[in-house]
Structure 1
Amino acid sequence: MKIKLSILLLLSALFNNAQNINSLPQGSFDPEKDLLLANYDCKTDVDDLQSVAAFATLLADVKFQKVKYHAVAGAYGIQDGLYVPPNDLFSLAFGDHWSDAHEDISKAINRVKTLAKGVLEDQGDLWIAEAGQSDFSAQLVQALQADMPEVDLSKRIHIVQHSDWNEEVTSPASLAYVKTNTDYIKIPDGNGVGNGSPGFRSPKFTNWKDKVNNPRLIKIWELAIALSNRYNGKEGRYHNEAISAGGMDFSDTSEICWILGLKDIKDIEQFFNLFSE
C-alpha cells in the first residue's frame, strides 16, 4: 500500500508540475477575460522597436498564447523630435492586432474603444502597458466614459507606467486625468537592474541569436534591430547608447512583465533564458 501511495503521490506531483509549467503565472491579469493594450510612443527613442520584439517573444510562449492583446503605434505625448517609423515591424510582430495612432488617432481611438468595450461588457478589465506617454490613454478613457457612464472605470482600467520621463512629456492635463480616472500604477524603471522591475537595458548583451530559435521571432528581432540601428540618434532623434554599443534595450517590456506576473525576471539574460525557443 505504501508503494502504491508513493506512486500516486509521485504521479500527482508530476501532473501538477506539468500544469504549472503550461499555465499563466499567478497575477491580477485574467487571460480568460482581460485585454492587454500595449501603447508605444515610437518618438524619439528606438527602444520601442526592441520592446515590440520582446512582447512578440512573450506572446509566442505557450503560457501566453491565449492572452487577448492589442498594440498601438504613435501613442506619444508632447515631446519634441522625429517619429521612428515602426509599421513594418508592428505588422510582422502583431499581424492585424495593432492600430496606427500616428497616422490617424481618431481611427485608432475608435478601434481600441470598441475592443475595450467588448471586454468591459463581458466583465473583463483593461490593462494598459504605457510604453510611452498617457495622452492616447486619456483620450481612450474619456471615450469609454462617454459610452459607459454606468461603469466605474477607475477600478476596471489599469495603467502601468515605468518612466519618469514618459510622465514628464505627457501633457499635464492628460497625466492628471488618467491618475484620477484609472487605476494608475507606477513601477520602478525598466532601464535599471535590481530595483524591483525587470531590467531590460544593457550595452553588453549581444548574443540574442544564440537564444532565439523560432524562425518567425528571428525575423522580428532582426527587423527590430535593423530599424533600431537605422534610426538611433539620426536627425535629432534620441541617441540610445546601449543600442549604439551593440547591446539591447527593451525596457518598456518591464510593464508587460509586471502585468503578466513576471516582475521577478532580473535582466535580459534571464528573459531570453526563459522565453527563447
Structure 2
Amino acid sequence: MKKALLFIAIVSLFINFKGNAIGLRSVKEQNFNIEKDLLLVQFDCKTDVDDLHTIAAMATLILNAKFSKIQYHAVAGTYGTQKGLYVPPNDLLKLCFGNNWTDANENFNEAIKKVKTIVLKTLVKQGDIWIAEAGQSDFTAKLIKAIQIDLPKIDVTKRIHVVQHSDWNEKHTSAEHLKFIKENSDYKKIPDGNVVGNGTPGFCDPKYTYWKDKITNPKLFEIWKLATNLSNKYNGKEGRYNNKAISAGGMDFSDFSEVCWILGLKNINDIEQFFNTYSL
C-alpha cells in the first residue's frame, strides 16, 4: 500500500512539474540568454523620426559578428495614443532585417497573431522574451493578453521582460494598457537614453556627424544612408515632430539604450563610442 501511495505521489509530482514547466525561469534570472531568448524591438514610428536611426543602430549591432546569433524580431507601428502622421519605415526595415519584421501599422490584429506565434516558439522552449519598447506599450499589452490565452499557466512577470526608457512613451500609452503591462510583465523603467551619464547610453547628439567616417561595411553604409535620408525627408514635415538633433545634422537613436540595457552593454557611453565599437 505504501509503495502504491509513493508511486502515485511521484506520478502526481511529475505531472504537476510538466504542466507548469513553461512557467519556470532559467538559472540566469534577469539576464538575456543569447542561446534561447528572443529580443523584440518595437518601433512606434509616430511621429518622431528617431526610430529610423534606432532601426539602423539595431542593424549595426546584428551585423557585428559578436551579436550575429541573437534571436530577434522587429515590429513597426506599435504606437499608442499620440496624434500625428506615421513615419514610413518599411524600405529601411526590409534593408536591415529582410523579412524578419512585422507591420503593425498595416494590420494591428494580424500583427498580434504573427508576433504571438513567434513568441510562443521561444516560450515553449524555455526561452524568455525581452521587449525593447521604442515607443508605447499598447501593442505589448495586447500581445501579452494573447499569449496568456494560449499559455494560461505561464508566469508573465518572470518570462516576459519589458524595457522602457521614455516618460513620454509612458504618457502616450493608454492608462489601462500601461497598468496592465506593469502588473503582467517584468517591467523595467530605465534612465532616459537621450542623456549621457545617467546610467544608460546617451544616443542623442546634434553635433555627431561622423558616421560616414566610421563605417567600412558597404551594406551598413547603405543602411545608415537610407536611415538619414528618410529621417531628413520626414522630420518635422506635415505636422510631424521636429527632432532638433536630426534637424541640426546630428543623430538620435535614444531608444536603442533599451537594447543596450537588455544585452548588458554597459561599456557604451554615447554615439561616438557606439560607432567606434560596433561599426564595421
Establish whether TM, by shorter chain, passes 0.5: yes
Q: Which residue of 2 is the match for residue 256 of structure 1? A: 259
Q: Which residue of 2 is the match for residue 152 of structure 1? A: 155
Deviation at 1:114, TM superposition (A): 0.6
Deviation at 1:233, TM superposition (A): 0.3
Residues 130-209 of structure 1 aligned to structure 2 (within 5 Å): 130-209=133-212
Unmatched tracts of structure 2, length 5 or more: 1-29
Give the partner amino acid of 2:167.
D
Distance 2:78 2:265 in 1: 24
Residues 1-277 of structure 1 aligned to structure 2 (within 5 Å): 28-277=31-280
Distance 1:164 1:135 in 2: 15
Distance 1:212 1:139 in 2: 38
1:85-144: per-residue Cα shift (whole Å, max 9, x none)? 110001101111100000011111111101110100000000000000000000000000
Unmatched tracts of structure 1, length 5 or more: 1-26
Distance 2:259 2:66 in 1: 14
Q: Which runs of 4 or more aligned residues in structure 1 lie more than 4 Å from their structure 2 counterparts after TM superposition? A: none
Distance 1:231 1:275 in 2: 27
Distance 1:263 1:157 in 2: 22
1:144-199: per-residue Cα shift (whole Å, max 9, x none)? 00100011111100000000000000000110000000000010000000000000
SS in 2 for 1:193: coil
Distance 1:39 1:154 in 2: 19
Distance 1:80 1:264 in 2: 36
1:13-34: per-residue Cα shift (whole Å, max 9, x none)? xxxxxxxxxxxxxx81001110
Distance 2:195 2:61 in 1: 20
Distance 1:178 1:264 in 2: 29
Deviation at 1:276, TM superposition (A): 1.3
Q: Is the 8 A contact 1:196 1:264 kept in 2?
A: no
Distance 1:220 1:142 in 2: 35
Aligned residue pairs total 251
Give the partner amino acid of 2:160.
I
Deviation at 1:263, TM superposition (A): 3.2
Q: Percent identity?
A: 65
Distance 2:220 2:96 in 1: 8
Deviation at 1:63, TM superposition (A): 1.0
- CA-based RMSD of the aligned residues comes to 0.7
User: TM-score normalized by structure 2?
Assistant: 0.89
Deviation at 1:80, TM superposition (A): 0.8
Distance 2:120 2:193 in 1: 30
Give the partner amino acid of 1:223.
L
